[in-house]
Amino acid sequence: MAAAGRLGEFEFIARLLRPLAASFPGAFELGDDTARVPLPPGEELVVKTDALVCGVHFLPNHPPGRVAQKALRVNLSDLAAAGARPVAYQMALVLPDHIDDAWLEAFCAGLAADQMTYGIALCGGDTASTPGALTISITVLGGAPPDSVLGRGGAQPGDLVFVSGTIGDGALGLLADTGRLREADVAGRAFLVDRYLLPQPRLALGMGLRGVASACMDISDGLAGDLGHIAARSTVQAVIDTERVPLSAAAAAVTARKPALLETVLTGGDDYELLFTAPAERRGEIATIASSTGVPVTEIGKVEQGDGVIVRKDGTPLALNRPGYRHR
């Protein structure tokens, strides 16, 4: 049932959601309960679902268009980590009564903009009302050649550890957005908040790493913790050096002013950069892929026999209070 002052379910679908599905024939203009997703010969389906909850993954004052884009992009980041190309997505919206038409219009405008950017379309979903928190659940569908999909389980002793982009901006951005980062200047806060609100899924890089990376995932729960997932799945040990971890100018400035924030950089999450391993002899290929996709890639460590993750600072193991974000 729609809240007072808000479009009814079918009006919402017809006016705001149906245009988002217009470019995808298998969505049948959102008129059926299911969608059909054809893939070209030589591809298999890659699927990922993430849910974002207001007060946990975004704040009530965040612009609805940015909320929509973050909800879509965190899922696209998982496709990037698999080396898959985007095909379509489905979305479930669980809406509290205070969400009005203006919010929904801005939310759908954010989705429309990112659909153009990433070449993806809505193909179905659901809406519901709740007395609780606004919740957005998106399932992305991607395609990739069989046996080329990247995963967490292929790292081998002797491999090197790489990351894309810069690390720690998302976690520091959350602190800045909530008034808890006095160490940043005005420009630095603005940059970090933007990085927190608007992840950059590395789709082209992920597709370029097919057949090159031995293991890959995106960094959502923190560099140290997510590297631990690769190490556990691959039954190896990973060693990284903090001085090699790439930082933005804003992150470097605040960690220089408050060195204790280095742990936030390493464990805070919300980076949505790619974390991957690859044989040392593939360094040159990786540099070429990084250059051709316009995404910086940095070597930060190595894979050894053993288990777990060792984070070193100036050659000495660094004790972390927690390896990364845990959902419960």
CATH code linked to domain 9-144: 3.30.1330.10
Cβ atoms 296, 164 nearer than 8 A = yes
pLDDT tier, 174 (very low <50, low <70, confident <90, very high otherwise): very high
CA distance 242 to 244: 5
Which two three-digit tokens encode residue 170?
């998302």
What is the reported pLDDT for 158? 98
- Strand 297-304 and strand 160-164: the pairing is antiparallel
Task: Tell me what the pLDDT averaged over the chain comes to.
Answer: 95
Taking the domain 160-317, which CATH number applies? 3.90.650.10
φ, ψ (nearest 5 deg) of residue 138 = -120, 135
The reply to whether the predicted model has a pTM over 0.85 is yes
> What pLDDT does residue 5 have?
54
Please identify which residue in the block is written with the tokens 């976690």: 171
Place of tokens 């593939």: 282
Contact criterion met (CB below 8 Å) for 170 and 58: no
Give the Cα separation of 95 and 284 in Å (integer).
49
Alpha helix (H) residue ranges in 165-274 = 169-177, 186-197, 203-208, 223-234, 249-257, 262-267
Which of 254, 242, 266 has its CA nearest to residue 180?
254
* Number of other residues whose CB lies within 10 A of the CB of residue 15: 14
pLDDT tens sequence across 180-199: 999 999 999 999 999 999 99
**Cβ atoms of 253 and 180 closer than 8 Å:** no
- The letter for the amino acid at 321 is N
User: pLDDT (tens digit, 9 = 90+) per residue, 290-325?
Assistant: 999 999 999 999 999 999 999 999 999 998 987 654
Closest listed residue to residue 137, CA positions, set 72, 40, 204: 72
CATH 3.30.1330.10 residue ranges for the chain: 9-144
Q: What is the pLDDT of residues 93-125, one digit of tens each?
A: 999 999 999 999 999 999 999 999 999 999 999
Chain region(s) in the chain for CATH 3.90.650.10: 160-317
Strands 85-95 and 121-129: parallel
Helix H or strand E encompassing 285? helix 283-293
How many Å apart are CA 13 and CA 31, to the nearest integer?
A: 9
